[in-house]
Amino acid sequence: MTELQAIQERHSVRKYVDRPINEKTLAELNKQIDLVNERFGLHVQYIPDEDGVFSGIVSKICGWSGIPGYIAMVGKDGDGLDELCGYAGERLVLYAQTLGLNTCWAGIFRRKSCTAKVNDGERLVLVIAIGYGVNSGHSRRSKTFSDVTDVQNMPDWFRAGVEAALLAPTARNQQKFFFTLDGDKPVAQVTGNAPFAKLDLGIVKYHFEAASGRTFE
Q: Is the pLDDT of residue 57 over 90?
A: no
- How do residues 61-104 score in pLDDT, each as one tens digit? 888 999 999 999 999 999 999 999 999 999 999 999 999 999 99
Residues of the chain above pLDDT 70, percent: 100
pLDDT at 16: 95
- Of 84, 100, 131, the residue at which a domain comes to its end is 131
- Of 107, 131, 155, the residue at which a domain comes to its end is 131
Q: List the CATH number of the domain containing 107.
A: 3.40.109.10
Query: Nearest 5°: phi and psi at 104?
Result: -160, 125
| Burial grade of 11 (CB within 10 A; 0-12, 13-18, 19 or more) | middle
- Of 78, 103, 131, the residue at which a domain comes to its end is 131
Mean pLDDT of 141-166: 93
Q: Note whether 153 and 190 are same-domain residues.
A: yes
Domain that holds residue 75: 3-131
172 pLDDT band, cuts 50/70/90, is confident
Q: List the CATH number of the domain containing 203.
A: 3.40.109.30
Q: Note whether 103 and 155 are same-domain residues.
A: no
Question: 71: closest CA among 112, 99, 106?
Answer: 106
Q: Note whether 117 and 10 are same-domain residues.
A: yes
| Residues across the chain | 217
CA 161 from centre of chain: 16
Structurally, how many domains does the chain consist of?
2
Q: Note whether 46 and 98 are same-domain residues.
A: yes
63 inside domain: yes
47 inside domain: yes
pLDDT at 60: 78
Q: Is the pLDDT of residue 194 over 80?
A: no
pLDDT at 142: 84
| pTM for the structure as a whole | 0.95
Question: 104: closest CA among 76, 132, 143?
Answer: 132
163 pLDDT band, cuts 50/70/90, is very high
